[in-house]
């Protein structure tokens, strides 16, 4: 097994190649474009068999992906940020079709203001859609997760589309050592998809996704989708175990890093979680009992695993790289909902950081543990904290001063 340096985008493309996908409907957007460029080159060069089609928008792209999946072929697609939002009508519609496919989302902060670098408000906008979500922290995980995602999506208990999420820039354009699976081993883990009853054909018309009225039948179908998503929890555990057996890398639904004997724990998702892992090592060197708990699965939400890892701890620093305006961090609220009322529920301290790719300094991780420790000592959860320094505000004030001068000059210049 040899390792090579690959970007997260290339790792995602390799996952799709090794999955032997038949069809890739595509539409480019920064920072995802490299995925479809790579796949297009492979289709063109004959390394991949099947078809890649450029659609006129992400809305059409997701529709095409699901429609193709309904014929029983294996489908891969990818987008990011505003593109995911443009497809949002279909993102919510197609899980109810109960057809499996995989979509790589390269996270990028949403407008406004428009930006390129990552946070998770884009993928969290799809949180309640019925797509399952796997969140990656390394390029190796991106490669592995695409293969795992197909097994999960196609599992008879599940049959739902899966989003594999990787952060723009910090994974998408970052090369790391990746062990690309041997094609035969990948095929053994993920045999060609045979449709298993999913076989829409023009010669045998089926009206899929019919209309219902009155709410009763609607409730049935919607709750069935929810139950299918919940069944993805045991299915995922089995598939991750099979993956570990085949490739020697274990990707549990929840990564628990040095958390068993920890008093205080970071909880976060995505690639910046590796920085938290680093902070855990440094804090341990300084004598603090600290760990990291990182959900890889966000949908379905691995509630039981999180309870198992977090109940009995003194305090949790929940780091949200997202912001629900008028509420706060999404992960914080989700975590509170699975811990509230449980015996041994730890104190939760909420931190908002990494918006639009804003960096985390190592000292900030250490400080978050200090804040959480003080809160646990006092028994009161602190106010949510935006990671934002006096130096950052000073720079902002400089820009605002320029804007004020512009406004003044603009106004003065008008009759």
Partner 1 sequence: MYRIRFHGRGGQGMKTASCILGDAFFAEGFEVQDAPRYGAERRGAPIFAYVRADRAAINERGIIARPDLVVVADDTLVTVPAAAVLQGVGARTVLLICSNDDAATWTARLKRDCRVLTLPAPAAPEAGQAQAGVGALCAGAAAALVGVIGRAALERAVAAELAAHGAPVVARNTAQALAAYDALAAHQGLVSAGGAVDAGARAPVDWIDLAAEDAAAAAPDIHATATSLKAATGLWRVMRPVIDHAHCHKCSWICSTLCPDSAIAVDADHAPRIDYDHCKGCLVCVAVCPSHAIRAIPERGAAGAVP
- What residues line the site for partner 1 (CB under 8 A)? 5, 7, 30, 112-113, 116, 169-170, 173-177, 271-272, 274-275, 277-279, 281-283, 285-288, 357, 359-364, 366-367, 385-391, 393, 400, 403-404, 406-407, 409-410
**Is the Cβ of residue 187 or residue 284 nearer to partner 1 in the bound state?**
284
> Minimal CA–CA distance to 253: which of 310, 304, 285, 297?
297
CB 355 within 8 A of CB 323: yes
User: Edge to edge, what strands does the sheet with 297-299 contain?
Assistant: 76-79, 102-107, 162-167, 132-135, 297-299
Structure tokens belonging to residue 53: 């089609």
Least Cβ distance, residue 351 to partner 1 (angstroms)? 10
Least Cβ distance, residue 376 to partner 1 (angstroms)? 18
Least Cβ distance, residue 184 to partner 1 (angstroms)? 25
Q: How far is CA 146 from CA 45, 101, 109, 121, 280, in A?
A: 22, 10, 22, 21, 28
Least Cβ distance, residue 198 to partner 1 (angstroms)? 39
**Is the Cβ of residue 157 or residue 289 nearer to partner 1 in the bound state?**
289
**Is the Cβ of residue 40 or residue 311 nearer to partner 1 in the bound state?**
40
Least Cβ distance, residue 249 to partner 1 (angstroms)? 13
HSE-up of 368 (CA within 13 Å, CB side)?
Answer: 34
Least Cβ distance, residue 88 to partner 1 (angstroms)? 23
Phi-psi region of 172 (alpha: psi -120 to 50; beta: other; left: phi over 0): alpha
**Is the Cβ of residue 8 or residue 300 nearer to partner 1 in the bound state?**
8
CA distance 281 to 291: 9
Phi-psi region of 38 (alpha: psi -120 to 50; beta: other; left: phi over 0): alpha
CA distance 306 to 304: 5
CA distance 38 to 48: 11
CA distance 168 to 153: 24
**Is the Cβ of residue 90 or residue 279 nearer to partner 1 in the bound state?**
279
Least Cβ distance, residue 405 to partner 1 (angstroms)? 8
Cβ atoms within 10 Å, residue 388: 13
Q: Alpha carbon 412 to chain centroid distance?
A: 49
Least Cβ distance, residue 396 to partner 1 (angstroms)? 9
CA distance 352 to 364: 12
**Is the Cβ of residue 129 or residue 322 nearer to partner 1 in the bound state?**
322
Helix or strand holding residue 60 (H, E) = helix 58-69
**Is the Cβ of residue 40 or residue 55 nearer to partner 1 in the bound state?**
40
Least Cβ distance, residue 360 to partner 1 (angstroms)? 8
> Minimal CA–CA distance to 91: which of 51, 140, 126, 132?
126
**Is the Cβ of residue 3 or residue 222 nearer to partner 1 in the bound state?**
3
**Is the Cβ of residue 75 or residue 387 nearer to partner 1 in the bound state?**
387
**Is the Cβ of residue 105 or residue 174 nearer to partner 1 in the bound state?**
174
Least Cβ distance, residue 389 to partner 1 (angstroms)? 5
CB 95 within 8 A of CB 160: yes
Q: What phi and psi, each to the nearest 5 degrees, are found at residue 332?
A: -60, -45
CB 180 within 8 A of CB 7: no
Convert 393-402 to b/e letters by CB count within 10 Å (16 or more is b).
eeeeeeeeee
């Amino acid at each position: 097994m040899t390792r090579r340096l690959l970007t997260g985008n290339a790792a995602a493309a390799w996952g799709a190649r090794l999955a032997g996908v038949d069809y890739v409907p595509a539409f480019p957007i920064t920072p995802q474009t490299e995925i479809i460029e790579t796949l297009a080159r492979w289709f063109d060069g004959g390394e991949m068999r099947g078809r890649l089609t450029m659609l006129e928008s992400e809305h059409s792209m997701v529709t095409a992906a699901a429609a193709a999946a309904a014929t029983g072929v294996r489908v891969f697609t990818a987008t990011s940020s505003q593109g995911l939002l443009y497809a949002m009508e279909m993102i919510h519609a197609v899980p109810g079709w109960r057809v499996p496919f995989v979509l790589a989302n390269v996270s990028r902060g949403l407008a406004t203001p428009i930006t390129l670098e990552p946070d998770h408000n884009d993928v969290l906008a799809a949180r309640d859609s019925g797509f399952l979500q796997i969140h990656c922290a390394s390029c190796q995980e991106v490669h592995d997760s695409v293969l795992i995602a197909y097994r999960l999506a196609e599992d008879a208990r599940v049959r739902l589309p899966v989003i594999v999420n990787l952060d723009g820039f910090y994974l998408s354009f970052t090369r790391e050592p990746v062990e690309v699976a041997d094609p035969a081993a990948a095929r053994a883990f993920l045999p060609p998809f045979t449709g298993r009853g999913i076989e829409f054909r023009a010669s045998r018309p089926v009206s899929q996704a019919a209309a219902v009225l009155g709410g009763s039948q609607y409730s049935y179908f919607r709750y069935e989708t929810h139950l299918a998503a919940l069944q993805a929890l045991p299915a995922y555990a089995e598939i991750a175990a099979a993956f570990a057996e085949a490739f020697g890398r274990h990707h549990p639904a929840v990564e628990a890093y040095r958390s068993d004997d920890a008093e205080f724990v970071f909880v976060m998702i995505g690639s910046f979680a590796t920085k938290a892992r680093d902070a855990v090592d440094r804090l341990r060197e300084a004598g603090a009992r600290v760990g990291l708990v990182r959900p890889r699965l966000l949908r379905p939400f691995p509630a039981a695993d999180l309870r198992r890892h977090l109940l009995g701890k003194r305090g949790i620093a929940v780091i949200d790289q997202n912001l629900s305006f008028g509420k706060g961090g999404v992960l914080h609220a989700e975590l509170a909902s699975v811990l509230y009322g449980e015996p041994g529920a730890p104190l939760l301290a909420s931190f908002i950081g990494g918006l639009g790719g804003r960096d985390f300094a190592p000292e900030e991780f250490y400080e978050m543990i200090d804040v959480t420790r003080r809160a646990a000592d006092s028994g009161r959860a602190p106010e949510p904290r935006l990671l934002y320094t006096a130096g950052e505000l000073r720079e902002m004030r400089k820009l605002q001063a320029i804007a004020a001068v512009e406004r003044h000059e603009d106004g003065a210049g008008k009759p």
